[in-house]
Amino acid sequence: MKLTRILIVSFLVVIPSACSSPTANTSTDATPNEVTLLAYDAFTPQEGIFDAFTAATGAKVKVVTGGDSGVLVSKAILTAGNPEGDVLWGLDNTLLSRAQKAELLTSYEPVDYGDICVNYDKQWFTSRNIAPPTSLEDLANSTYKNLLVTQDPVASSPGLGFLLGTIAHFGADNWQGYWKSLKVNGVRIASDWTTAYTIDFSGSSGKGKYPLVVSYGSSPPAEVLYAEKPIETPPTAVIASTCFRQTEYVGALRGARNPNNAKLLISYLLAVPFQESMPLSLFVFPTNQKASLPDLFTKFAVAPKNPLTLDPADIEENRDAWLSSWRDLIL
């Protein structure tokens, strides 16, 4: 009986408020002085970082998120010309060409970068007196048999980055041989980053069986910042020679309702205050040379001078063929 009563009361309370919200929303939509930033779910900027923008321009920033970068870009392409917002955050070099083909953006700029690198569990290697691997070649060495977990490159962006890194390093004709030897050496393919890092990897919360994991060059500082109890140094480290560069872009969407505010917001995202807030809120490096890095980043994050890279057009042209030949090799 109690539950029935609660349900009736909530019915009476919730329905009117739910019905009133659309009208409230449409009225803000009609306000010209607003700008909508579309981003992936993991876009968690520093709190209050847009206050300065609103104070300077009078425009309110509405952050709209939905899905990971793949979902975000697919949605943006399906709605190209009639976008859900004004500015798109979250295109990276593996997705850029797809967006260009769909004429998604009127302009775009690199806004941040980071690397996809193999991370290792420091304690696992020291306690066994084994030197951690230092190169991609090492990972196929029998000393490191059954130690590496990576992600499905079809479903996961770090997985794709690692595959592209091996293609950049070994060349378009030889990477298949490398992957064959990785397979022989017991590489584990997890479905996504979360499974690999929080379940299989031994160096983080899951205490899994694999001391080597494909993750980011900025994962070690995140381990310090979000440690359960304060720690001085991260339990994990990065193998710099395995790093594949991932650059993220911010762009103005074609057909945006507030194109002028979009331009203003993009300049704001590229200016020093926002760029300096990114390392500890988004765990990426600023593209603006004038932005300085926090201590935690200079000490523990890795972004090699000469990372592995591939041309976005090259990626777009070959991605499907690479992925299907990877699938044939591994599955």
Interface residues toward another protein, by CB under 8 A: 2-4, 7, 10-11, 14-15, 18-19, 21-22, 25, 29, 38, 41-45, 62-67, 70-71, 74-75, 77-79, 82, 84-85, 98, 152, 154-155, 188-195, 197-199, 204-206, 215-216, 219, 222-223, 225-228, 281, 320, 323, 327, 330-331
Nearest to another protein of 81, 171 (CB atom) = 81
Write the secondary structure of 55-87 as one string of H (helix), E (strand) and C (coil): HHHCCEEEEEECCCHHHHHHHHHHCCCCCCCCE
Nearest to another protein of 131, 331 (CB atom) = 331
Q: Is the dihedral of CA 115, 116, 118, 122 positive or negative?
A: positive
Nearest CA to 96 out of 301, 321, 251, 255 is that of 251
* Alpha-carbon distances, residue 25 vs 22, 86, 306, 323 (angstroms): 5, 17, 48, 42
Would you give the DSSP letter of residue 293?
A: P
Establish how many alpha carbons lie within 13 A of residue 242's alpha carbon, considering only the half-sphere containing its beta carbon. 30
| Tokens representing residue 223 in the block | 């381990």
Nearest to another protein of 18, 131 (CB atom) = 18
Nearest to another protein of 13, 143 (CB atom) = 13
Task: Report whether 109 contacts 63 (CB < 8 A).
Answer: no
Nearest to another protein of 10, 134 (CB atom) = 10
Q: What is the DSSP string of 113-168?
A: EEEEEEEEEHHHHHHHT-PPP-SHHHHTSGGGTT-EEEE-TTT-HHHHHHHHHHHH
Q: What is the dihedral of CA 236, 238, 242, 246, to 10 degrees?
A: 100
Nearest to another protein of 141, 320 (CB atom) = 320
